[in-house]
Amino acid sequence: MAEFFLETVWIVPFYGFMGAILTLPWSLGTIRRTGPRPAAYINILMTLVAFIHGTIAFNAIWTEQTHQLGFQWLSVADLSLKLTVELSPVSLGALELVTGISLLVQLYALGYMEKDWSMARFFGLMGFFEASLSGIALSDSLLLTYGLLELLTLSTYLLVGFWYAQPLVVTAARDAFLTKRVGDIAILMGMVAISAYGADLDFSDLREWVSSHPFNSVGAALVGLSLIAGPTGKCAQFPFNLWLDEAMEGPNPAGILRNSIVVSAGGYVLIKLQPVFTLSPVSSDVLIVLGTVTVIGTSLMAIAQIDIKRALSHSTSSYMGLVFIAVGLGQVDIAFLLLFTHAIAKALLFMSAGSIILTTSNQNLTEMGGLWSRMPATTIAFIVGSAGLTSLAPLGMFWTFHRWFNGSWNVDWRLLGIVMFANVLSAINLTRLFRIIFLGKPQAKTRRAPEVPWSMAVPMVALSAFTLVAPLASINWPLWLSPNIPISPENASNVTQFATPLLILSGVLGCVIGSLINVRQAWARSSKVYVRFVQDLLAYDFYVEKLYEVTIVAAVSSLSKVTSWIDRYIVDGAVNLVSLATIFSGNALKYNVTGQSQFYLLTILLAVSVLLWSILNGQWSTVTNYWSSLIS
């Protein structure tokens, strides 16, 4: 029986699509008498079935060899396109993470979206969202993955723009869609390039193909950079990091998946593409540089935000930057562990943030305080999620960082410094948020805030428990992915001897600093010019949006004006000139149509005379020249 579920696990993504389709009668308003809740129940049921199916298959794969299921999609001449699904502990583990968190989030959304008039449409979009993510988890085909990434981009656009009556929401959805489309187009170019040189477009075959690739150094670098662009957009890395911040305008349950699973999907694709990045050192260097810039920049941005969701979303980009660094170093097992531990902890943090927003009808930190006694379950969830995200022993991120610096991997002081910096800033940010939201005196909007209903509290408590047991997966993680054989601790660098204590110290230091800073002045603009400059620089995301406006947006706007002028006055002018010539010539010729045969004969005679004259004139000059030459 387990073998049957394993061989049919490829249908798990279709459960989400089926749930989305079955909600259409409620989403379109065909069924109104029952209200929208049946649509939510249908989607939750389909997600539960997907989770159970995936769990049985995940338990069965441990006794099976990793293998692929291929479906022939197109075969024309020498072109053969297959859609391949991988059955391995990694792919099925990723599927379990997607369906498990999606199930908890949909249960959570049942309470969060209870009063929304378009709840059915939301759950239909969530089913579509989940199906795309489940397909990416199982896919071994770059072609199939690209198609699913396109569906994921579309579903992100629809969910971010869910409250489409608000102009700011529409702008955020547009920016998120266009930003991710830039990366999708680039990855399509890279996919076409490697398929043109003999690759089967299967992730499992990339390592073998890389050993005999036909690219020169420039071509290998360009292919690597194009394939990096897609995950850069999905993981909200610099310079595509602003879309995730703007996407916080959408409903919070979708934001939970976006900051935990969607960004992890981009990192998951990056991990599978890692063999291609070994073709050129440029690709690996770009991954490390992008990750480093994002880690430093977004960590600083997060501590200056006064919107709770934006403060957490910048933290997401920071941890995804560490994933980019790990992949650039070829340490893909660490990258996978970072995705796993971050996804669980960040989902829990966004659940607690959503509970706060729902009960206070507010997400501005300046108007919060004193919630710990009124919302104990939410408070505990925030503490557990924060501890799981920083390197506080014995939770998940601590064991992930410990495995990174335990001597099995080739690391140096610079990497340790980056990780410690991210950990210190993350601890400061989360401690700052905890003090502002849960401690202190209650404010006007938090004085009567109740605890969330059971439909939101149960998923939050369940995910808190899962966050506490997640370190077991980090501790017992076998090496399935990395191409490099880990070194022995005897040959490890000196940095590993001090790494774990320093990482623990960085987390403690961040908590201490976050506890000592004057949080009530965190949002107050200083009277000192240089302090105010730094505050504004961080709060406005280093003015990256303004930089876009004066560079890319201005260039595109100017180019569009030039092309509009050319189209209007040159292209249209040429077409209009031809039409005017046709009109005038037609009007002139119409006077020759008299119906009198003698006039037609006269016209023919004149035309023949002109023709003969032109011919004979040319011949007469030739004869004249001939006789002149004879006489001379």
Q: What is the pLDDT of residue 622?
A: 65
Rounded average pLDDT over 281-285: 89
Average pLDDT over residues 185-213: 78
Quick one: which H or E segment has residue 75? strand 67-76
> Does the pLDDT at position 280 exceed 80?
yes
Write down the pLDDT at residue 477: 63
Distance in Å from the first CA to the final CA of the chain: 111
**Type of residue found at 261:** I
Neighbours of 87 (CB within 10 A): 21
Average pLDDT for 528-536: 75
Cα 445 to Cα 452: distance, rounded to the nearest angstrom: 15
Q: What is the mean pLDDT of residues 238-262?
A: 85
The mean of the pLDDT values for the chain is: 83
Measured between alpha carbons, how far is residue 398 from residues 138, 322, 336, 394 in Å?
Answer: 28, 14, 15, 6
Q: What is the pLDDT of residue 394?
A: 78
Chain length of the chain = 632
* Predicted confidence (pLDDT) per residue in 453-471, tens digit: 888 889 999 999 888 887 7
Q: Is the pLDDT of residue 629 over 70?
A: no
CA–CA separation, 175 vs 248, rounded Å?
Answer: 12
Lookup result for tokens 């480093």: 292
Measured distance CA(198)–CA(511) in Å, rounded? 53
pLDDT at 484: 57
- CA torsion sign for 339, 341, 344, 345 is negative
- pLDDT value at position 322? 92
Mean pLDDT of 538-555: 81
Rounded distance, CA 105 to CA 116, Å?
A: 16
pLDDT band at 481 (very low <50, low <70, confident <90, very high): low
Please give the pLDDT value at position 53. 92
Domain residue extents for the chain: 1-140, 141-195+202-539, 540-593, 594-632
Q: What is the mean pLDDT of residues 528-553?
A: 78
pLDDT confidence of residue 383: 92
Instruction: Tell me the mean pLDDT in the region 578-584.
Output: 81
DSSP labels, 62-115: TTS--EEEEEEEEEETTEEEEEEEEESHHHHHHHHHHHHHHHHHHHHHHHHTTT
What is the per-residue DSSP string for 432-451? HHHHHHHSS---TTTTTPPP
Among the listed ranges 168-182, 333-347, 450-464, 615-629, which one has the minimum average pLDDT value? 615-629
pLDDT band at 522 (very low <50, low <70, confident <90, very high): very low
CB atoms within 10 A of CB 493: 16
Q: CA 603, CA 601: separation in Å to the nearest integer?
A: 5
> Taking the C-alpha atoms of 395, 401, 403 and 406 in order, what is their torsion angle to the nearest 10 degrees?
-120
3-state secondary structure of 108: helix
Average pLDDT over residues 135-160: 88
